[in-house]
């Protein structure tokens, strides 16, 4: 009797017609062979092995460099269950349309069976997925990003309890590219893209879109959040989860290095992109990082902005769409030491600093093992997870949103998450820098109707005996001249310290119509070039701006109709009333 997995592999092979089938065990030998084959075919380019041991460069198709949200679908039986936040196709239509593209799509290629675990190998909160793919780059990346191979097969046994992800590069044409999710069947089909978020199916597709759907059914949370622990000089460690949209600094915050002035503090990294959070036996919220690696944005990363990640990516890492120096080392805009006199750009073309184009693609990436990170938390693989005391919701906003403020309670905290908006970045194709609503940083990743998602968040508050405190943060406030008001990066620890003090009941705050705002002296600015006037601007509540925001929020919420919980609507009405009063 074939196992459910064997049966599915047979079915897929009969449809896609691969030349070979390879079951991946995740071993070093297997990985080595894959890398050698990719070097032979030009899929990978070897980097300088002295400076970057076991590091390779991959150049993706120039039309395939970011997540393509307009080609991403959530296919629930009822359209309204996918909600206005998702593109929708009926499951039967998706199977017919996208299934046709898979017919014979692996001809002449190897079909890789990639079993993987999302989460620590023995955690009760972990889940199993299997990705079938014809891309060896995807296999090598999944080996970094997940617990891939034999451990997953052993945990799965003959069970059918796994998420089925089918991926093929197809012909890489954007006209024949689809990323479709069938959350009710726990199935993902992705064709026509080799780009991370579209092709590494454990990440956005499973851990967030299918994950959030499962989480609602089963009473937990799958979120686009980093997880970090702040250890204070006293030895007390407090864990924080934080949601920021793509390319807004989650990786940097998760690996923050305390500045000289904050000696004695230590930030521990548990995760930098995704958190799965369950109610623990003690009624607190416990988080695991389902991933085993970081798939981070390269441009802007350097020894000042994120020394921990720079140390992490120096070995065993894949680089995608960065530039290549004559020394065989990677280069991207913002790297230490400035641009090289010449290089080869992300498309393989000769480049100099004078030819007016970027050397690395703005969404170029590194894929690197989490265990190599100098700040990785000793708890990062704890099967129980870590207890979360605070949740931060942040975005990239030049105006309106103060540096930090706190919600009045859980329900108001859910409202603060639901009203997040941020300026768009290069992580998804489309215009960069326009403010878009992105509740909980989950707009591109919520696998069901976002109105129901807000309702699920409210329900979670009822399950928790000790819910985390909820905060909004914004490191990106600008002066009218366009200058950043807050130094950011390591100095963000000063804001985290206020968050910790609030969590532990050690500091007061001013109650304003939008929530609890710090008294300006309560955020330590000693040694910073942040004047009291700038601090006041950073913490100001702009009444007129908020009245306008509340009106925009009302419009946004209207689209969810009956799926929007009445409490969220009421929170917006209460905000409006408080602003008027």
Write out the residues near Mn ion by the rule CB under 5 A. 246, 273
Strand bridging mode 20-23 / 110-118? parallel
Q: What CA–CA distance (Å, rounded) separates 240 from 231?
A: 11
Provide the minimum distance between the beta carbon of 274 and ligand OXD in the complex, in angstroms, as a whole number: 8
Provide the minimum distance between the beta carbon of 295 and ligand OXD in the complex, in angstroms, as a whole number: 5
Are 560 and 84 in contact by the 8 Å Cβ rule? The answer is yes
Positions in 370-389 near ligand OXD (CB under 6 A) = none
Provide the minimum distance between the beta carbon of 365 and ligand OXD in the complex, in angstroms, as a whole number: 7
Q: What CA–CA distance (Å, rounded) separates 150 from 485?
A: 50
Are 147 and 129 in contact by the 8 Å Cβ rule? The answer is no
515 makes contact, choosing from Mn ion, ligand OXD, none, with CB < 5 to 8 Å by partner type, with none
Are 140 and 318 in contact by the 8 Å Cβ rule? The answer is yes
Q: What CA–CA distance (Å, rounded) separates 442 from 560?
A: 15
417 makes contact, choosing from Mn ion, ligand OXD, none, with CB < 5 to 8 Å by partner type, with none
Per CB under 6 A, the list member of 64, 262, 273, 333 interacting with ligand OXD is 273
Which two tokens mark 219?
């009473």
Per CB under 6 A, the list member of 427, 446, 530, 549 interacting with ligand OXD is 427
Within its chain, how far is the Cα of 445 from the centroid?
A: 9
Taking the least distance from each CB to Mn ion, the nearer of 223 and 273 is: 273
Are 502 and 426 in contact by the 8 Å Cβ rule? The answer is no
Q: What CA–CA distance (Å, rounded) separates 502 from 523?
A: 12
Residue count at the site for ligand OXD (CB under 6 A)? 7
248: contact with ligand OXD by CB under 6 A:
no
438: contact with ligand OXD by CB under 6 A:
no
The catalytic residue among 24, 248, 373, 446 is: 248
Q: What CA–CA distance (Å, rounded) separates 380 from 511?
A: 36
- Over the window 314 to 353, marking each residue x when it contacts ligand OXD by CB under 6 A and - when it does not, the resulting string is ----------------------------------------
446 is catalytic: no
3-state secondary structure 24-35: CCCCHHHHHHHH
Residue of closest CB approach to ligand OXD: 246
Residue of closest CB approach to Mn ion: 273
Are 209 and 449 in contact by the 8 Å Cβ rule? The answer is no
Residue labelled with tokens 């307009």: 70
Positions in 280-299 near ligand OXD (CB under 6 A) = 295
Positions in 28-67 near ligand OXD (CB under 6 A) = 67
Provide the minimum distance between the beta carbon of 246 and ligand OXD in the complex, in angstroms, as a whole number: 3
427 makes contact, choosing from Mn ion, ligand OXD, none, with CB < 5 to 8 Å by partner type, with ligand OXD
269 makes contact, choosing from ligand OXD, Mn ion, none, with CB < 5 to 8 Å by partner type, with none
E strands, 134-265, are: 147-148, 163-168, 178-182, 187-191, 221-223, 225-231, 237-243
Taking the least distance from each CB to ligand OXD, the nearer of 251 and 329 is: 251
Q: Is 269 left (phi over 0), alpha (psi -120 to 50) or beta?
A: beta
412 makes contact, choosing from ligand OXD, Mn ion, none, with CB < 5 to 8 Å by partner type, with none
E strands, 244-379, are: 266-271, 275-279, 285-288, 293-297, 318-320, 323-324, 330-331, 343-344, 350-351, 365-369
Taking the least distance from each CB to Mn ion, the nearer of 126 and 246 is: 246
Q: Which residues, 6+ apart, have CB-to-CB distance to 428 below 8 Å?
A: 66, 67, 68, 69, 246, 444
- Over the window 189 to 228, marking each residue x when it contacts ligand OXD by CB under 6 A and - when it does not, the resulting string is -------xx-------------------------------
Partners of 437 in beta bridges: 421
Taking the least distance from each CB to ligand OXD, the nearer of 272 and 333 is: 272
Within its chain, how far is the Cα of 27 from the centroid?
A: 27
Provide the minimum distance between the beta carbon of 546 and ligand OXD in the complex, in angstroms, as a whole number: 28
Provide the minimum distance between the beta carbon of 279 and ligand OXD in the complex, in angstroms, as a whole number: 26
Provide the minimum distance between the beta carbon of 250 and ligand OXD in the complex, in angstroms, as a whole number: 8
- Residue 159's Cβ-count burial label (10 Å; 0-12, 13-18, 19+) is exposed
Taking the least distance from each CB to ligand OXD, the nearer of 419 and 424 is: 424
Q: What CA–CA distance (Å, rounded) separates 266 from 377?
A: 10
Taking the least distance from each CB to ligand OXD, the nearer of 73 and 294 is: 294
Catalytic residues: 248
Interface with ligand OXD by CB under 6 A: which residues?
67, 196-197, 246, 273, 295, 427
């Amino acid at each position: 009797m074939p196992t459910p997995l064997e049966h599915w592999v047979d079915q897929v092979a009969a449809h896609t017609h691969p030349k070979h089938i390879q079951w991946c065990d995740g071993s070093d030998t297997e990985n080595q062979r894959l890398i050698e084959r990719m070097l032979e075919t030009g899929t990978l380019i070897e980097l300088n092995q002295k400076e970057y041991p076991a590091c390779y460069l991959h150049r993706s198709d120039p039309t395939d460099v970011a997540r393509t949200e307009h080609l991403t679908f959530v296919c629930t039986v009822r359209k309204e269950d996918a909600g206005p936040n998702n593109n929708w196709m009926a499951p039967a239509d998706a199977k017919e349309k996208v299934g046709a593209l898979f017919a014979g799509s692996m001809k002449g290629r190897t079909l890789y069976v990639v079993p993987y675990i999302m989460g620590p190998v023995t955690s009760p909160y972990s889940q199993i997925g299997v990705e079938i793919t014809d891309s060896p780059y995807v296999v090598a990346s999944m080996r970094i990003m997940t617990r891939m191979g034999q451990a997953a097969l052993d945990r799965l046994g003959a069970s059918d309890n796994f998420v089925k992800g089918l991926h093929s590069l197809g012909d890489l044409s954007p006209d024949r590219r689809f990323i479709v999710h069938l959350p009710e069947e726990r199935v993902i089909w992705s064709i026509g893209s080799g780009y991370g978020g579209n092709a590494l199916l454990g990440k956005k597709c499973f851990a967030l879109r299918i994950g959030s759907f499962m989480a609602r059914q089963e009473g937990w949370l799958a979120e686009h959040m980093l997880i970090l622990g702040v250890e204070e000089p006293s030895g007390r460690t407090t864990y924080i989860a934080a949601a920021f949209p793509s390319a807004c600094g989650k990786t940097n915050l998760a690996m923050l290095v305390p500045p000289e002035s904050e000696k004695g503090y230590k930030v521990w990294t548990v995760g930098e992109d995704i958190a799965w959070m369950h109610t623990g036996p003690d009624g607190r919220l416990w988080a695991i990082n389902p991933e085993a690696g970081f798939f981070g944005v390269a441009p802007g990363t350097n020894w000042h902005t994120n020394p921990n990640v720079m140390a992490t990516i120096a070995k065993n890492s894949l680089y995608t769409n960065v530039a290549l120096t004559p020394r065989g080392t990677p280069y991207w805009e913002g790297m230490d030491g400035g641009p090289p006199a010449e290089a080869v750009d992300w498309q393989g073309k000769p480049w100099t600093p004078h030819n007016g184009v970027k050397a690395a693609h703005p969404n170029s990436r590194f894929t690197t093992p989490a265990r190599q990170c100098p700040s990785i938390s000793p708890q990062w693989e704890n099967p129980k997870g870590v207890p979360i005391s605070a949740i931060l919701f942040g975005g990239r906003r030049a105006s309106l949103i103060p540096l930090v403020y706190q919600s009045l309670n859980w329900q108001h905290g859910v409202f603060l998450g639901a009203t997040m908006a941020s300026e768009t970045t290069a992580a998804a194709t489309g215009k960069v820098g326009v403010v878009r609503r992105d509740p909980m940083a989950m707009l591109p990743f919520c696998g069901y109707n976002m109105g129901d998602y807000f309702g699920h968040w409210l329900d979670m508050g009822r399950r928790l005996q000790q819910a985390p405190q909820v905060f909004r943060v914004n490191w990106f406030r600008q002066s009218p001249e366009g200058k950043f008001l807050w130094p950011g990066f390591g100095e963000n620890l000063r804001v985290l310290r206020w968050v910790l003090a609030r969590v532990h009941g050690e500091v007061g705050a001013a109650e304003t119509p939008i929530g609890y705002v710090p008294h300006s002296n309560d955020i330590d600015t000693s040694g910073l070039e942040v004047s009291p006037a700038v601090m006041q601007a950073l913490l100001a509540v702009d009444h007129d701006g908020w009245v306008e925001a509340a009106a925009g929020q009302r419009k946004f919420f209207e689209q969810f109709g009956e799926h929007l919980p009445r409490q969220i609507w009421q929170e917006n009405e209460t905000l409006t009333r408080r602003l008027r009063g």
